[in-house]
Structure 1
């Protein structure tokens, strides 16, 4: 069974963009699961919880999630990055790519592997 860590750019000044990224993450994770792979979607998990972290700035929220992300990344065999606009600029996505590459694990863009997971 493929064990996939799903990454997507998340933070944005426009809340509608953040919600769109959450929705896209959920849709992609559902396709992956439907096709028999295990997936951990960081955005799917963290977005609802972030709504309960009022009063914390972006940096504080990021520092809370970094060790959690590391735990799940260590358990997964590969990384798929949802290559929506902003993924190249995302510090979080860059950190996740580096983690997997440093360990010699597969890193793919969703646009490259989407056909592996029929709708």
Structure 2
């Protein structure tokens, strides 16, 4: 059983883009679970909670999540990045990739490994 941290681009000026990223991330997380693996989907967990952070900007919200993410990154054994448009511009994803690479753990793009989760 693989223990996967699922990363996904999240923040965007258009709220509908952010919400669509949340939906796509949930679909991938469900597929990983259906394949018999463990996944922590940070966007799936954070999006509903972020809606309760009234009046906070995305940078402040990101700082609130950093210690939470660190706990889950430490528990998981590999990183899969959902490579939606903008994934390569995400500072959060860059931090997550660096974390896993520094530990010598597997880092993959979803488009490269999705066939493993049928």
TM range (shorter): over 0.9
1:35 aligns with 2:35: yes
- TM-score normalised over the length of structure 2: 0.99
Task: Compute the displacement of 1:34 (Å).
Answer: 0.1
Aligned pairs (5 A) from 1:74-89: 74-89=74-89
Task: Compute the displacement of 1:58 (Å).
Answer: 1.1
Cα distance in 1 between the residues matched to 2:67 and 2:73: 10
Question: Deviations 1:32-52 (Å, cap 9, x if unpaired)?
Answer: 000000000000000000000
Task: Compute the displacement of 1:59 (Å).
Answer: 1.2
Aligned pairs (5 A) from 1:19-98: 19-98=19-98
**Once superposed, what is the RMSD of the aligned Cα atoms?**
0.5
Paired residues in the alignment total: 118
Task: Compute the displacement of 1:55 (Å).
Answer: 1.2
Task: Compute the displacement of 1:114 (Å).
Answer: 0.2
Task: Compute the displacement of 1:4 (Å).
Answer: 0.1
Flag structure 2 segments of 5+ consecutive residues without an equivalent. Answer: none
- TM-score normalised over the length of structure 1: 0.98
